[in-house]
Amino acid sequence: MVRKYQSSPCPCGGVSYTTCCEPFHTGLAFAATAEALMKSRYSAYALGLSDYVQATWHASTRPQQLDLSQEKDQGKWIGLTVKQHKPQGDKAEVEFVARYKAKVGPASRLHENSRFVFEGGRWFYVDGDLFDN
């Protein structure tokens, strides 16, 4: 399923999906920083990769189910800007703005300060606070 995007730019803004987020999505590599994990999660949302999003969500806050397959029918993610990355040992925060265009209506922005934790040699998304837009 992921291979069809290999020659495309990465949804997170990287030049090539193959060399950017695909190694994380296929399990060939783990994100070395919370920022890299956040970008790969954004790309997974954009591509509808529910399993990857769940696998990178910390067990303490992970939803039991996640189905991103319907999102593609409703619109698409159109861009990502990382505003700030604050590593703090085995914890980190990443502030970002993700842009989304619904099939009907105006585009919208998701502005979040996300919290991550490093456990067992991997980064995990814990939770985040949304900014008012």
Q: What is the DSSP letter of 70?
A: T
pTM for this one? 0.91
Nearest residue to 61 (alpha-carbon basis) of 109, 132, 117, 21 = 117
Those residues of the chain that have pLDDT short of 70 are 1-7, 72, 133
Supply the Cα-derived Rg of the chain in whole angstroms. Answer: 14
| CATH number of the structural domain spanning residue 21 | 3.10.450.50
**What's the number of domains the chain is made of?**
1
Report pLDDT for 1: 47
Residue type at 131? F
Q: What is the DSSP letter of 133?
A: -
Report pLDDT for 4: 54
Show the domain range for 7.
Answer: 2-130
